[in-house]
Amino acid sequence: MCLAAGVALAGCTSMLAENGETAAIDHFVSPPEGATEASAGPDDRMKLSYAAEETPSLAAGAFDMVVKLGSSKVDVYRFRDPDTGKTGYFDAEGYRLGQYLLRNPVPEGRRTSGFGNRRHPVLGYSRMHAGVDWAAPVGTPIHAAADGVVKFAGRHGGDGRMLVIDHGHGYETGYSHQSRFADGIKPGAAIRQGQVIGYVGTSGLVTGAHLHYEVSVNGRKVDPMKVHFIREGRLSGAALSKFERAVAADGREKHAAAGV
């Protein structure tokens, strides 16, 4: 099983190589700096789903893969866009999928607070907590959730020392309460997924060392634990119609196989 910051994709590179699918791993996720590939244990389970060449869905131009992300399963379709001639990865609605957003930028951290309303530990009243807190000792490395460009790096009120990365397509991630930024981190700097961008600290309104991690989509804060991939735009016109036919054919195949 191939693991990177708690992410399990559909099989290991060595297995996928036989089906020409090694590009899927590189397309979606890069391991954080300093991370190593974990070995499978006796209790680990792995499921690899694929389509045979003669299946109607593949003939229609789509290849269905099931990607397991924690307890969630996401259908991902490899599809050749007839308008551009390029092959990409799409969700069931026809949105092109970019990189997987790492849910925990601090692999050694412990989640202490989730997304939603809560009583603020310092201010003492209830208000929206628009991110996820990951507790870790001061100085623990923080990794970028995906490729992007630094939009902001500096002090920001109660967020303390904060970094914002623009990932394009309306997606941004924020990293607050840092003790310091990594070398070279400044507005305009290019960032790659998994790169060390800073270190856990206690700057701003905090009761202990942790990273406050936020994800914004088109200016709206969303739950980082519910965002899987960066959507890079949707198919349209004849391309979308062809894709929808392929997805429908795949659904019929699954129902037939299940005896539904």
pLDDT of residue 222: 94
What is the average pLDDT score of the chain?
Answer: 78
More confident: 258 or 82: 82
pLDDT of residue 194: 93
Which ranges in the chain are annotated with CATH 2.70.70.10?
Answer: 110-226
pLDDT band at residue 18 using 50, 70 and 90 as cut-offs: very low
Q: pLDDT tens digits for 130-177? A: 899 999 999 999 999 999 999 999 999 999 999 999 999 999 999 999
pLDDT of residue 211: 96
E strand residue ranges, the chain: 3-4, 7-8, 62-69, 72-80, 87-90, 95-100, 110-113, 116-119, 126-129, 132-135, 141-143, 148-155, 161-168, 171-176, 178-181, 190-191, 196-200, 210-217, 220-222, 229-234
pLDDT at 212 over 80: yes
Least confident window among 3-7, 41-45, 214-218: 3-7
pLDDT of residue 179: 98
Are the beta carbons of 147 and 29 closer than 8 angstroms?
A: no
Q: Which of the following CATH numbers is that of domain 110-226: 1.10.390.10, 3.30.200.20, 2.40.70.10, 2.70.70.10?
A: 2.70.70.10
More confident: 72 or 194: 194
CA distance 232 to 243: 16
pLDDT at 47 over 80: no
pLDDT band at residue 16 using 50, 70 and 90 as cut-offs: very low
pLDDT of residue 40: 47
pLDDT band at residue 72 using 50, 70 and 90 as cut-offs: low
Average pLDDT over residues 69-91: 81
Q: How many CB atoms lie within 10 A of CB 51?
A: 18
Least confident window among 26-30, 152-156, 191-195, 253-257: 253-257
pLDDT at 199 over 80: yes
What is the largest distance, in Å, between two alpha-carbon atoms of the chain?
A: 62
Q: pLDDT tens digits for 50-65? A: 444 444 444 445 566 6
Percentage with pLDDT > 90 across the chain? 43
Average pLDDT over residues 76-95: 87
